[in-house]
Structure 1
Amino acid sequence: MKVEIWSDIVCPFCYIGKRRFEQALEKFPHADNVEVVWRSFELTPDYRPIPGRNVYESLAEKKGIPVAKAKEMSDYMADMAKEVGLKYDFDNAVPTNTFLGHQLIHLAAKHGKQGEAKERLMAGYYLQGQDLNDVDTLVKLATEIGLDAEEARAALLNGTYAEEVRHDEYQAQQINVRGVPFFVFEDKYAVSGAQPTELFSEVLEKVWDEFQPTKPAPIMVADGPACGPDGCEI
């Protein structure tokens, strides 16, 4: 079973949705047969970080709301994150453009480490105050999951995987993704948002049952006297 997930590194619901989906996957008896593919989505592709500006100020400007209201919204998200074991640290988070981060995730996919890269970058941003605008920081995080430092640096500086990011975003437009996280199961069923773990479990079971190949009935080439539940034909 293939599950494609469009999300952004700095989307608070995306990290929460990731955890809830993972919790459902842990309980799913066929988890080893589920392929998870992370797709890129930039919530604010034209964002330009301003040194010294914090998350609350950036959110206030984006939403056109007071900074106090932005902090209130962030506190609400932090409380929700605690329910899935995540301790968001908005006070130390560094506002970032995620284009480079998404490129690094695509590099990791080449080496079979896409899931590890996604988790490492989200943890770096939400839990550890890592500056994902900084190439040196991204290279360091890449090496922590076993990627080669020089390959990572070259890929980021040369935009090696920029087109892969844009292609993911183009695909999102084609299937009308208007918000993230957005989960697509076997190109047929979609789940939008950080839904409860129970719903993800239900969808996994439904899609698994539907898409398992069934053995076709044999073609009858001869039919004669036989016995069945109602007796024997005479």
Structure 2
Amino acid sequence: MKIEIWSDVICPFCYIGKRNFEAALEQFDHKEQIEVVWKSFLLDPSISEQSSESYHQYLTKRKNMPLEQVNAMLANVTQMAKQSGLDYHLDQSIIVNSQKAHQLIQFSKTKKLGDKAEELLFLAFFTDVKNIADTESLVKIGLELGLDEIELKSIFDDQKYKYEITQDIQEAQNIGISGVPFFLFDRKYAVSGAQPSQVFLETLNTSFTKWRASNPKTPIQVIQGSNCSLEDGCN
């Protein structure tokens, strides 16, 4: 069963949602039959790649909120992250455009490394306070994923991965997604936001039951003949 997740790697609730979803998946009896597909979402495409604004400054300006209120809000988010086992340093994070980070994710997906790419980019931004718009930093993350360095250096100029991002965003708009994280289970059930793991587990159970009813296991009819096996050799 396919679960599609729209997220942005500069969204603090997306990393928390990822962790809570993973906790639910660990408790799910049929996790080996779940396919997770990450989808790109840009919360603010207007942010510069050379931004020097802190997370606090950005939200103060974007939401037109007093700095004290923003500080309190981000302190709550940091505590929420801690409860999910994450270590946020939002007081040090510099807001940058996440387009290139998503290009790395799209490329990683072609190597079946989309989930690991999401994890390392979240970690880089929220915990290690790295500049995820910097090509050199992104190449290092790609190398950590085990990707080829020559290929990595070419993906940021490749229109293919920019197109994939645009397609994901257009798909989100068509579905009616206006915020992330957004988890879509078998295109029939959805969870919006960084919900507790129990909510994800309940949705997993409900959606999988419906999916299994429409996709029953079919026993394979085998015509036996002479063969070789590890246990019995050839007969």
Q: Same fold (TM over 0.5)?
A: yes
Q: 1:64-118: CA deviations, max 9, x gaps?
A: 1122222221111000000000010112212111111111101000011000000
Quick check: which has more Rg, 1 or 2? 1
Corresponding residue for 1:151?
A: 151
Tell me the distance in 1 between the aligned counterparts of 2:216 and 2:139: 47
Partner amino acid, structure 1, of 2:78: A
Match status 1:186 vs 2:158: no
Structure 1 Cα separation of the partners of residues 202 and 123 of structure 2: 27
**Residues 99 and 133, structure 2, Cα contact 8 Å, conserved in 1:** no
Instruction: Structure 2: state its 5+ residue gaps.
Output: 219-235
Match of 2:38, SS state, is: strand
TM-score (norm 2): 0.88
Q: Contact 1:103–1:159 (CA<8 Å) still a contact in 2?
A: no
2:157 aligns to what SS in structure 1?
helix
What residue number does 1:84 align with?
Answer: 84
Taking the aligned partners of 1:22 and 1:10, their CA distance within structure 2 comes to: 19
Distance 1:214 1:161 in 2: 36
After superposition, residues 103-122 of structure 1 pair within 5 angstroms as 103-122=103-122
Match of 1:64 in 2: 64
Specify the alignment match of 1:205 in structure 2.
Answer: 205
Matches within 5 A, 1:1-234: 1-49=1-49, 51-212=51-212, 213-214=215-216
Q: List alignment gaps of at least 5 residues for structure 1.
A: 217-234
CA, structure 1 residues 78+215, in 2 after alignment: closer, same or farther (shift >3 Å)?
closer
TM-score by length of 1: 0.88
| Aligned equivalents of 2:186, 2:71: Cα separation in 1 | 38
Q: Percent identity?
A: 39
**3-state SS of the aligned residue for 2:65?**
coil
Residue by residue, what CA displacement relative to the aligned partner does 1:9-47 show, whole Å, maximum 9, x if unpaired? Answer: 011111111000000000111111100000001111111
Q: CA 1:51–1:109 in 2, change beyond 3 Å: closer, same or farther?
A: closer
Q: Is the alpha carbon distance of 1:195 and 1:150 closer, same or farther for their aligned partners in structure 2, counting shifts above 3 Å?
A: same
Could you tell me how far apart the structure 2 residues matched to 1:65 and 1:135 are?
Answer: 32
Match of 1:132, SS state, is coil
Deviation at 1:158, TM superposition (A): 3.2
Q: Is the 8 A contact 1:96 1:132 kept in 2?
A: yes
**In structure 2, how many angstroms separate the alpha carbons of the residues matched to 1:50 and 1:112?**
30
What letter matches 1:28 in structure 2? F
